[in-house]
Structure 1
Amino acid sequence: MAAAYVYMRRRHQNIRRNRLLRDYDNPLDYLDEFDIIRRYRLSRPMIIDLCRRFDNDLHRPTMRSRALPVSLQIMAALRFFATGSFQLVNADVHNISRSSVSRCVRDVTQCLVNVCNQHIIMPTDAASLEIIKRGFYEISDFPNVVGAVDGTHVRIKSPPVDEHIFVNRKNFHSINVQGVCDYNLKFLNIVSQ
């Protein structure tokens, strides 16, 4: 009985399966502006600008099946950043595989890291610092604040090399990320290790 089961299982594994070609729908095509901001935390024009900016880096020519469109890659990563939910949930929302979501998050994050120094700048002149201090004071009557700091651990898959470096105090693999924002929630500094 067990031999028959093993034979049938091996035979089933050797059967060639037809490739499934999915129709990747673009959430920008069917969501209204309110839903886009609620789900992805950025407006439609900002997402389109990211797609245009990162098109060369994220476009994948392939001879196999169809590659994920740049807009879907960016939106999958933005959804992950916005919700912090598991990649499997994000994969179900966008009708793609969990490994595709992982690659999207990795690639879009790398694109953002490559351009972040052009947009994220900690002010050093006295006038800019005074504006930020005044903004925080108007919000919460807290004097002499020049930034709000927070950090998080972004869960990652176990890297093949130097795995022990990425294990955090809660015993899972992560990258430590710290951000500093001003009173308008604009990033002034980001450090990820």
Structure 2
Amino acid sequence: MSRMWTALMLEAADAEAKKMSRQRMLLQRLKNRERLLQKIPEWQFRAHYRLNKEEFHSLCDELRHNTSLKGSKTTSLELKVLTALNFYAMGSYQKGVANEVHMNQKSVSRCIREVTKALNEISNKWIQFPQTSTQRTKIKQGFYTKFNFPGVIGAIDCTHVAIVRPAADVLCFYNRKGFHSLNVQMVTVVTLKGATL
């Protein structure tokens, strides 16, 4: 009986040691990612995430203090935001983003879902259609001054967001660039604080 008890105790101790080792490894990986973020040149950071580092940190602070988005033991809030920004900026598959940030696709999907939900929680603060004629006039003047384009209060653009080949209506989703996608259209009105047209 005592041999079986000893074997069970050794097995439990071994399992605990493996768990602690995994936690240390995950924490080290998180620290390495944060060090790598600091080393990325500003131009490269902007190319990958479409924000500069100062704007990125400001966004993270906003999300941390005004939304339900939180970091975890293995994935900091900053890494979640970077992962989602990379996906938004590149318009690529999640697997490609996963390779770049050294995560599995399921984790990338979770990051994108959580960050998108958090951004939606604060979107009204940043995305507003001009409500008054004074606001619309100011935007029209800005577009005219900068681009010599009269009567504009916003801009519209489209992009192809890559998707996995659908099972049905394949040709409806095959675009001129040679891959399957959804054509997403956005309307933008420039009303951000301090923004210049």
Please tell me the TM-score bracket, short chain as reference.
0.5 to 0.7
CA RMSD after TM alignment: 3.4
CA contact (8 A) 1:51 1:71 kept: yes
- The structure having more radius of gyration, on CA atoms, is 2
Tell me which of 91, 99, 119 is aligned to 2:98: 91
Q: Distance in 2 between matches of 1:82 and 1:176?
A: 14
Worse-matched range after superposition: 87-96 or 142-151: 142-151
Runs (5+) with no aligned partner, structure 2:
1-17, 175-179
Distance 2:58 2:155 in 1: 27
The whole-number CA distance in structure 1 between the counterparts of 2:71 and 2:50 is: 26
User: What residue identity is the alignment partner of 2:78?
Assistant: S
Which residue of the other structure, out of 170, 178, 184, is the alignment partner of 2:173?
170
Secondary structure of the residue that 2:173 maps to in structure 1? coil
Given candidates 143, 152, 156, the residue that maps to 1:145 is: 152
Matched position secondary structure for 1:81:
helix
Does structure 1 retain, via aligned residues, the 8 Å contact 2:154–2:190? Answer: yes
Q: Which runs of 5 or more structure 1 residues have no equivalent in the other structure?
A: 1-17, 158-163, 187-193
Aligned to 1:76: 83
The aligned runs of 1:33-182 (5 Å cut-off) are: 33-55=42-64, 57-61=68-72, 66-152=73-159, 154=161, 169-170=172-173, 178-182=186-190
Q: Return the alpha-carbon distance in structure 2 between the equivalents of residues 179 and 68 of structure 1.
A: 33
Cα distance per residue 1:55-81 (max 9 Å; x no partner): 3633255xxxx4211111100111111
After superposing the two structures, state which structure 1 stretch, 125-134 or 90-99, moved more. 125-134
1:9-29 Cα offsets, whole Å, 9 max, x none, are xxxxxxxxx786441312432
Return the TM-score normalized by structure 2: 0.64
In the aligned structure 1, how far is the partner of 2:149 from the partner of 2:183?
31
Distance in 2 (CA, whole Å) between partners of 1:180 and 1:106 is 22
Identical amino acids, percent of aligned pairs? 29
C-alpha change, 1:67 and 1:83, in structure 2 (3 Å) is same
> Which residue of structure 2 aligns with residue 28 of structure 1?
37
Give aligned pairs, total.
157
TM-score by length of structure 1 reads 0.65
* Matched-pair contact (CA < 8 Å) for 1:76–1:90: yes
- State whether residues 135 and 183 of structure 1, in contact with CA within 8 Å, keep that contact through their aligned partners in structure 2: no
Instruction: Select the structure with the greater relative contact order (CA < 8 A; seq sep ≥ 6).
Output: 2
